[in-house]
């Protein structure tokens, strides 16, 4: 079969020009690196650091309310979960990492999750469970230190997920702001 390849003839590069270009690139890199080093050193000596380095875990950066960490279950004032086991978050979760077994109760809230598990190894922190929940019962917290040494350790049960409402208050205000609609102007 005839080949359609077109041979390309490039001029042979001059070894001398290639060497000069290479040396110039190295010197440019060294100049930039040294410039940053001297500026940061001067800032360090004056105790006015010019680089943003956080000494984690001793130092923490405050997270904005929009940050989505691990999903948690919000507790009511009586310590029980707000969740009514409707299953909407389970349905909305794109990775199927939520498992709920509902049960009935004689309380004011008639249903509750007997089992509410989240497999954090599959969670991608998308926040769709939070959006789907009609009770503000599952909320994206600021918690992100959830590493585990085994698959079993990444399975979080209801008791591990329950969180007092005060610790997710900023996130709740943030998501409520997202639902507010600007009031329609009256017709003139």
Which residue among 19, 37, 101, 125 contacts ligand SF4 (CB under 6 A)?
125
Check residue 97 for interaction with ligand SF4 (CB under 6 A): yes
x/- site string to ligand SF4, residues 46 to 85, per CB under 6 A? -------------------------x-----------xxx
Cis before 158 (ω within 30): no
Which residue among 76, 109, 127, 143 contacts ligand SF4 (CB under 6 A)?
127
Check residue 98 for interaction with ligand SF4 (CB under 6 A): yes
Distance CA 7, CA 130 (A): 59
Using CB atoms within 10 Å of the CB of residue 116, give its burial: 0 to 12 exposed, 13 to 18 middle, 19+ buried. buried
In the complex with ligand SF4, which residue's Cβ is closer, 26 or 169?
169
Q: How does DSSP classify residue 47?
A: T
Check residue 100 for interaction with ligand SF4 (CB under 6 A): yes
Which span (39-47, 128-136, 165-173, 179-187) binds ligand SF4, by CB under 6 A? 128-136
Torsion angle, CA of 132/137/141/147, rounded to 10 degrees? -90
| 6 Cβ neighbours under 8 A, 6+ residues apart | none
Distance CA 114, CA 133 (A): 17
Shortest spacing between CB 88 and ligand SF4, in angstroms: 4
The residues that bridge with 118 in the sheet, in sequence order, are: 98, 156
Q: Which residues bind ligand SF4 (CB under 6 A)?
A: 71, 83-89, 92-95, 97-98, 100, 118, 123-129, 132-133, 135, 137-138
């Amino acid at each position: 079969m005839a080949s359609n390849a077109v041979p390309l003839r490039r001029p042979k590069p001059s070894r001398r020009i290639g060497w000069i270009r290479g040396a110039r690139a190295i010197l440019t890199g060294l100049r930039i690196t040294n410039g940053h080093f001297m500026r940061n050193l001067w800032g360090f000596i004056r105790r006015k650091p010019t680089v943003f380095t956080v000494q984690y875990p001793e130092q923490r950066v405050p997270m904005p309310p929009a940050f989505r960490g691990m999903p948690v279950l919000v507790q009511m004032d009586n310590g029980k979960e707000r969740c009514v086991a409707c299953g909407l978050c389970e349905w909305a979760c794109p990775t199927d990492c939520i498992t709920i077994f509902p049960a009935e109760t004689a309380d004011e809230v008639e249903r509750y999750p007997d089992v509410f598990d989240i497999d954090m190894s599959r969670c991608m922190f998308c926040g769709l469970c939070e959006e789907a929940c009609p009770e503000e019962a599952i909320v994206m917290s600021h918690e992100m230190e959830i590493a585990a040494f085994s698959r079993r350790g990444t399975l979080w049960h209801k008791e591990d997920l329950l969180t007092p409402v005060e610790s997710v208050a900023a996130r709740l205000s943030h998501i409520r702001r997202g639902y507010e609609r600007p009031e329609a102007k009256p017709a003139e």
